[in-house]
Amino acid sequence: DEVVVMDQLLLRSAQVRDIILARALALPERQVRQILERRLLPDGLIERQSEGEGMAFKTYYRISHACLAVTATRLQNVEDSLNSQVTPEYQCTTCKQAFDSLTAMSFNFRCRTCNEPFVCGEAPSVMQDRLWRFRNKCK
């Protein structure tokens, strides 16, 4: 339920009343208010702004700017982690040993065992595919 409410807040990208969220999600207003007040607000995921008095009292909710910044940083860290795992490998043509770029450079791009030059191999296709899918999901 929390994810659905957060998704609606993100889609609207503005301050939204709980009544509007309840209508958009086809959920009872009380249930939406409980999700907002008891779960999302205490965790700092959303911000609340109230205005008016008595019968004209209105409460608006929006996604917290801090939440967006933390999420963006975490997504960037995940992408950097995936990107660092997709490094090209160098391989000996004779004995088929694989080396990362730092090791290959320290060996002057020649195998210590058979003295053959290294050939730049492709990065692991599984990791490339995983990075590609992650980037597409984040668009």
DSSP type of residue 55: G
| Better pLDDT: 1 or 123 | 1
Give the Cα separation of 26 and 60 in Å (integer).
Answer: 18
- pLDDT (tens digit, 9 = 90+) per residue, 29-86? 999 999 999 989 998 889 999 888 888 889 999 999 888 888 888 888 888 887 776 5
Extract the tokens encoding 6: 């957060």
Give the Cα separation of 34 and 25 in Å (integer).
Answer: 14
The predicted structure's pLDDT at residue 101: 79
Please name which of 34, 28, 35 lies closest in space to residue 5, comparing C-alpha atoms. Answer: 35
Compute the mean pLDDT over every residue in the chain, rounded to the nearest whole number: 84
| Rounded mean pLDDT, 8-15 | 86
Answer whether 99's CB lies under 8 Å from 65's CB.
no
- Residue ranges per domain, the chain? 2-65, 81-138
pLDDT band at residue 21 under the 50/70/90 scheme: very high
Give percent helix, percent strand, percent coil of the chain, each to the nearest 5: 55, 15, 30
- Beta strand 58-63 with 16-17 is antiparallel
Answer whether 58's CB lies under 8 Å from 68's CB.
no
pTM: 0.56
2-65, CATH topology level: Arc Repressor Mutant, subunit A (1.10.10)
Identify the residue whose tokens are 């909710």: 61
- pLDDT (tens digit, 9 = 90+) per residue, 89-122? 788 888 878 888 788 888 888 888 888 888 877 5
Give the Cα separation of 129 and 132 in Å (integer).
Answer: 5
